Amino acid sequence: MRIGELARLTGVSVRLLRYYEEQGLLTSRRAGGGHRHYTADAVATVARIRALLAAGLPTKVIRDVLPCAVGDGPEVDACVQDLLRRQLRDLDARIAELQAARASLGDLLDASERASAAMRTPA
């Protein structure tokens, strides 16, 4: 199938499909005139890529995970489970950092609002 049909079937833009190909996530063969042609399993591959992106994985990690995909869903073989565990730990650490930053920002805002309110209140 051509790239336009793959885009229609997956709901992913042509531009994004080209990006996936540039990142080594999706493959095509070139026909006469340079047109990209994809095999029927490209639809499942794009769905898998989207699921892995939604899980917060960067494309460089997805490139390592895709060869270990199992079936048509987002499941992967044991060959990359340690990698996914590391990604999960990293994500947990980033979430903790963001929660701490949010708490600090909230404290700063609260203190600023109290100071502003005190300045408006007549003595």
Q: For 56-86, what is each residue's pLDDT tens digit?
A: 899 999 999 999 988 776 688 888 999 999 9
Going through 1-122 in order, the beta strands assigned E by DSSP cover 29-30, 36-37
Q: Give CA–CA dist 73/70, Å, rounded.
A: 7
Domain boundaries, the chain: 3-120
Q: According to the model, what pLDDT value does residue 35 have?
A: 87
- The residues near 20 (Cβ < 8 Å, ≥ 6 apart) are 12, 26, 46, 49, 59
Q: What is the CATH number of domain 3-120?
A: 1.10.1660.10
What stretches in the chain show pLDDT beneath 70? Answer: 73-74, 123
Going through 2-104 in order, the beta strands assigned E by DSSP cover 29-30, 36-37
pTM of the predicted protein model? 0.77
The size of the chain, in residues, is 123
Taking CA 29 as the corner, what is the angle to CA 27 and CA 32, rounded to the nearest 5 degrees? Answer: 155
Q: According to the model, what pLDDT value does residue 85 have?
A: 94
Q: According to the model, what pLDDT value does residue 123 have?
A: 64
